[in-house]
């Protein structure tokens, strides 16, 4: 744990400012809530006639006990080759607004009803599986980037292939470029569906030229990007798209071991009356079964029921299959991993450990710089308070959009000041700037560099990460309107 100046002062029966004066002499410029290096602490302690010793951290309130180690069953690095079975590819459809993503998802979903499969889909589980000539394909049933980004931010990147929908009459638009950037960045296979080819104004040549400019040379241009011309509205070419996707499981050698402890990724979660927290998941490996205990984030649970994308209650779900899971203690987060445990006891124990870790993480962060506290703090004076923000986003385009949206929030108590706003990951210098000026760092679809994360903890700088714009705006607004109670 970091050595915080004020803590150290307290233990020596001194005031923080006395230590700060000593620190300045050592050329160390910090605030009372900030941390100092152990070597510096040693010197300071010596000056005051103390010896500096680090406490041994003992779990469980200082009582030594032989701890039983409980760990989440790890996915083995290498599964025995003969246990591996092909699994369906998992597809996310992306593209610019109005280019036909929803129409395409609906069309594909409907195709299996016309294909004579029993029953339509009555259950929304966030994803659905269709079969093309016996080969299954799983589609994430949310167009756009929000879920993709949310999952990626949590390191739960389950998409195998991005189907990029481009309207033939419109060409590449800002969100198309954003999608290409996302997909490339995370190393996804991109398959392009040029949509609305039924329109007179369709210009597929133009689209392909534009794609080539983005480094996506289509196969008929001598490149290796698969590209299909379709009409989601009329259904033309949709079968070809399905066939291409169905074959990709083999091409990309998408395999998983259906044996062993199940692992799944949360793609949606909600509270449902009478059922409690329910979540939709896609199974990644193993077979998820009713009755099995699991861990998901910091909570234990037990699979009480599984419901497939047709609303049928099922006993198990194999890799690549979307299902709704009932049996969570608390609402999990999108991107969390659900991992089957060998016993209820092991699941509960691991959950306790994780909750304990979370608590101590929270305790370590000096609370002074939380967004709402900063405002409350600044408001102690009579003048209008300032909320200082350093904004980092994934792409330049969203910098201005978010900045404008936040500036539009009207508050008679608080002024927003952007100390910085740029595209790129949250870096150490962002944290330093935030720390020296009591600002919060807000990230939109960005990563936090490891060093920055570490520094933010020792400096007590709050980093707020968002992947959905309106959530970001809402929280800033609530903080500004004083709706969020300052935590003491």
- List interacting residues with ligand GDP (CB under 6 A): 95, 97-103, 143, 195-196, 198-199, 231-233
Phi-psi region of 381 (alpha: psi -120 to 50; beta: other; left: phi over 0): beta
| Residue (177 or 199) nearer to ligand GDP, CB | 199
Rounded least distance, CB 210 to ligand GDP, Å = 17
CB atoms under 10 Å from CB of 25, counted, come to 11
Rounded least distance, CB 241 to ligand GDP, Å = 12
CB atoms under 10 Å from CB of 488, counted, come to 6
Q: Is 349 marked as a binding-site residue? A: no
Q: Is 97 marked as a binding-site residue? A: yes
| Residue (96 or 477) nearer to ligand GDP, CB | 96
Rounded least distance, CB 146 to ligand GDP, Å = 13
| Residue (37 or 98) nearer to ligand GDP, CB | 98
Question: SS3 of 97, please?
Answer: coil
Q: Is 196 marked as a binding-site residue? A: yes
297-300's contacts with Cβ under 8 Å and 24+ in sequence apart are 297/332, 297/333, 297/336, 297/354, 298/351, 298/354, 298/355, 298/357, 298/358, 299/328, 299/329, 299/330, 299/332, 299/351, 300/329, 300/341, 300/344, 300/347, 300/348, 300/350, 300/351
Cα angle: 315, vertex 321, 327; to 5 degrees: 50
| Residue (195 or 318) nearer to ligand GDP, CB | 195
Q: Is 198 marked as a binding-site residue? A: yes
d(CA 214, CA 228): 17
Rounded least distance, CB 126 to ligand GDP, Å = 16
| Residue (195 or 316) nearer to ligand GDP, CB | 195
* Count, residues in the chain: 488
Contacts of 253 (CB under 8 A, 6+ apart): none
Rounded least distance, CB 97 to ligand GDP, Å = 5
Among candidates 327, 135, 332, which has minimal Cα distance to 250?
A: 135
CA distances from 306 to 267, 316, 324, 347 (A): 15, 7, 6, 19
Question: Could you please report the per-residue DSSP string of 328-382?
Answer: ESSPPPTTPEEEE-S-HHHHHHHHHHHHHHHHHHHHHS-GGGSHHHHHHHHHTSS
Q: Is 204 marked as a binding-site residue? A: no
| Residue (88 or 95) nearer to ligand GDP, CB | 95
Rounded least distance, CB 266 to ligand GDP, Å = 23
| Residue (20 or 232) nearer to ligand GDP, CB | 232
d(CA 228, CA 235): 13
Q: Is 320 marked as a binding-site residue? A: no
| Residue (106 or 352) nearer to ligand GDP, CB | 106
CA distances from 209 to 21, 172, 217, 237 (A): 65, 10, 8, 21
Q: Is 392 marked as a binding-site residue? A: no
| Residue (103 or 204) nearer to ligand GDP, CB | 103
Rounded least distance, CB 207 to ligand GDP, Å = 13
Rounded least distance, CB 96 to ligand GDP, Å = 7
Q: Is 227 marked as a binding-site residue? A: no
- DSSP secondary structure code for residue 41 in this structure: H
**In contact, 283 and 262? CB cutoff 8 Å:** yes
d(CA 24, CA 9): 15
Rounded least distance, CB 275 to ligand GDP, Å = 29
Q: Is 141 marked as a binding-site residue? A: yes
Rounded least distance, CB 181 to ligand GDP, Å = 18
Question: Could you please report the per-residue DSSP string of 272-339?
Answer: ETTTEEEEEEEEEES-EETT-EEEETTEEEEEEEEE-TTS-EESEE-TT-EEEEEEESSPPPTTPEEE
What is the rounded end-to-end Cα distance, in angstroms, of the chain? 21
Q: Is 98 marked as a binding-site residue? A: yes
**Which residues sit in the known binding site?**
95-102, 141-145, 195-198
**Which residues sit in the known binding site for GTP?**
95-102, 141-145, 195-198
């Amino acid at each position: 744990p970091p050595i915080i100046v004020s803590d150290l002062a307290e233990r020596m029966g001194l005031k923080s400012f006395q230590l700060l004066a000593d620190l300045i002499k050592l050329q160390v410029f910090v605030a009372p809530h900030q941390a100092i290096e152990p070597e510096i602490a040693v010197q300071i302690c010596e000056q005051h006639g103390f010896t500096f010793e680090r406490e041994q951290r003992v779990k469980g309130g200082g009582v030594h006990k032989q701890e039983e180690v409980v760990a989440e069953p790890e996915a083995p690095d290498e599964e025995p080759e003969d246990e591996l079975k092909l699994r369906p590819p998992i597809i996310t459809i992306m593209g610019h607004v109005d280019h036909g993503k929803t129409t395409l998802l609906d069309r594909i979903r409907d195709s299996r009803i016309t294909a004579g499969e029993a029953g339509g889909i009555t259950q929304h589980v966030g994803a659905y599986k269709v079969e093309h000539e016996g080969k299954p394909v799983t589609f994430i049933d949310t167009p756009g980037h929000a879920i993709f980004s949310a999952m990626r931010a949590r390191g739960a990147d389950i998409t195998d292939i991005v189907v990029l929908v481009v309207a033939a009459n419109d060409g590449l638009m800002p969100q198309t470029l954003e999608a290409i950037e996302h997909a490339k960045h995370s190393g996804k296979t991109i398959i392009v569906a040029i949509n609305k080819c039924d329109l007179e104004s369709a210009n597929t040549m133009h689209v392909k030229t534009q794609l080539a400019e983005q480094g996506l040379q289509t196969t008929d241009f001598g490149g290796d990007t698969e590209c299909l011309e379709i009409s989601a509205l009329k259904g033309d070419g949709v079968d070809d798209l399905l066939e291409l996707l169905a074959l990709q499981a083999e091409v990309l050698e998408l395999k998983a071991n259906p044996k062993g402890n199940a692992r799944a990724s949360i793609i949606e979660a909600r509270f449902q009356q009478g059922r409690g927290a329910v979540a939709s998941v896609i199974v990644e490996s193993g077979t998820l079964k009713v009755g099995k205990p699991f861990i998901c984030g910091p909570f234990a649970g037990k699979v009480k029921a599984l419901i497939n994308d047709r609303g049928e209650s099922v006993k198990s779900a194999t890799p690549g299959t979307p299902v709704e899971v009932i049996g969570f203690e608390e609402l999990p987060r999108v991107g969390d991993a659900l991992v089957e445990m060998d016993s209820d006891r092991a699941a509960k124990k691991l959950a306790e450990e994780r909750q304990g870790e979370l608590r101590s993480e929270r305790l370590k962060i000096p609370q002074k710089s939380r967004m709402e506290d900063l405002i409350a703090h600044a408001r102690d004076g009579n003048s209008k308070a300032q909320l200082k923000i350093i904004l980092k986003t994934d792409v330049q385009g969203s910098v201005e959009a978010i900045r404008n949206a936040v500036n539009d929030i009207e508050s008679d108590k608080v002024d927003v000041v952007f100390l910085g706003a740029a595209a790129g990951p949250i870096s150490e210098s962002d944290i330093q700037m935030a720390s020296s000026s009591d600002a919060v760092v807000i990230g939109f679809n960005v990563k936090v560099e490891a060093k920055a994360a570490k520094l933010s903890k020792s400096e007590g700088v709050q980093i707020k990460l968002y992947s959905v714009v309106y959530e970001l705006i809402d929280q800033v607004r609530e903080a500004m309107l004083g709706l969020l109670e300052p935590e003491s």
